[in-house]
Amino acid sequence: MKKLTQKMEFKPFCVLVAIILICGVISGGDFFKITIVEGHFYGRLIDILRNGSRYAILAAGMTMALGTGGTDISVGSVMAIAGAIACSIVDGRILGGLNGNVFVAVLIALLAGALCGAWNGFMIAKLKVQPMVATMILLTAGRGIAQLIADGKIVTITSEAYYNISGGYILGLPVPMFIAVGVVILFLLLTRSTAFGIQVEAIGVNPGSSRLAGIKVERNLWIIYILCGITAALAGLIESAGIKGADCNNCGLMIEMDGILAVAIGGTSLAGGRFSIISSVIGALIVQTISTTIYAFGVAPELTRVAKAVIVIVVCLIQSQAFLTQVKKIRIGKAGKKEAPAV
């Protein structure tokens, strides 16, 4: 039992369950209602799974970048690029020879994501530019690139096959969830069954001594940022599929903040070192649950951001060890005072 509570994943998981339970109670059970519509499950929890998947996928990549003490703030723009490429190909606007082949479009979009990641990796690993600054280049330029690809328009497509990336169902559950689970399993295998995970943590703690210890710091950074690019591209594909179009101006706008937030809520230190992908995925689900909750309870539009902020603050406080010890101290202090006169 002690072991379980000390796991990194324990606290965020409790928070997630608590938020969902509180929502369920306030809504009088409405929040949990799952029905079957046209052969698939339908309900708010399913929405959280589907819409939270793209955060989960992003957070999985982001966790490793943050684990090395770096960060990748270009993910939103990379999402836009991937969406623009895939939709343009499916629409036949570019590479018409492919006849809008969805599979090839997805592959090329993922490759583009990897390329963006490689550019970040090159800046960070080779040129030793600070990760925040290095990825800021793509954050600003990436959206412009996406605009160029999509010709400054929202490319609308009608392909049902492409739509299924976001709106499809397997065994009655949304496809993005399976993509997210796949990504997480792959990343867990990579970080927990090989030395890669420990190397990442080592780089996060001290890159210099890691290098002296024989860890290929540069190579690992390349791999991490390329993976980040690919996960961002995947998230971009899901988002663009969901709306049947590439909205370059808005796709993934400010999502890097949600991604970092998910990782932080999960408990991974932004300073690098110990990380847990599962925690981040739970963090991602918390982020999504918060917005789903806000819509579910009909918070006034002017207050949605404030409401979100308040919940995030509460979640962060629960996560903060310093805060909890302070609370404990105050409680002990109070107890101590009561006992004092008696002595």
The residues of the shown chain that bind other proteins, judged by CB under 8 A, are: 30, 33, 37-38, 42-44, 47, 51, 119, 122, 126-127, 137, 141, 144-145, 147-148, 152-154, 156, 167, 239, 242-245, 247, 249-251, 291-292, 295-296, 298, 301-302, 304
Gap between the Cα atoms of 45 and 118, Å rounded = 36
When the beta carbons of 51 and 268 are compared against other proteins, the nearer one is 51
When the beta carbons of 28 and 208 are compared against other proteins, the nearer one is 28
Q: How far is the CB of 88 from other proteins (least distance, A)?
A: 15
When the beta carbons of 168 and 274 are compared against other proteins, the nearer one is 168
When the beta carbons of 137 and 188 are compared against other proteins, the nearer one is 137
Q: How far is the CB of 232 from other proteins (least distance, A)?
A: 15
When the beta carbons of 147 and 269 are compared against other proteins, the nearer one is 147
DSSP state, 122?
A: I
When the beta carbons of 297 and 323 are compared against other proteins, the nearer one is 297
Gap between the Cα atoms of 54 and 40, Å rounded = 20
Q: How far is the CB of 244 from other proteins (least distance, A)?
A: 7
When the beta carbons of 30 and 331 are compared against other proteins, the nearer one is 30
- 201: closest CA among 183, 182, 175, 220? 220
Alpha carbon 182 to chain centroid distance? 14
Element (H, E) at 245: strand 245-246
Burial (0-12, 13-18, 19+ Cβ within 10 Å), 111: middle
Gap between the Cα atoms of 105 and 142, Å rounded = 19
SS (H, E, C) 272-291: CCCCCHHHHHHHHHHHHHHH
Q: How far is the CB of 262 from other proteins (least distance, A)?
A: 17
Q: How far is the CB of 331 from other proteins (least distance, A)?
A: 39
Q: How far is the CB of 293 from other proteins (least distance, A)?
A: 9
- Hey, is 157 helix, strand or coil? coil
When the beta carbons of 64 and 90 are compared against other proteins, the nearer one is 90
Contact between 241 and 167 (Cβ < 8 Å): yes
Q: How far is the CB of 340 from other proteins (least distance, A)?
A: 53
Contact between 315 and 285 (Cβ < 8 Å): no
Gap between the Cα atoms of 161 and 91, Å rounded = 12
Burial (0-12, 13-18, 19+ Cβ within 10 Å), 113: buried
Q: How far is the CB of 119 from other proteins (least distance, A)?
A: 7
Gap between the Cα atoms of 188 and 191, Å rounded = 5
Q: How far is the CB of 260 from other proteins (least distance, A)?
A: 19
When the beta carbons of 92 and 242 are compared against other proteins, the nearer one is 242
- Hey, is 46 helix, strand or coil? helix
How many angstroms separate the Cα of 194 from the Cα of each of 8, 138, 200, 216?
Answer: 20, 30, 11, 14
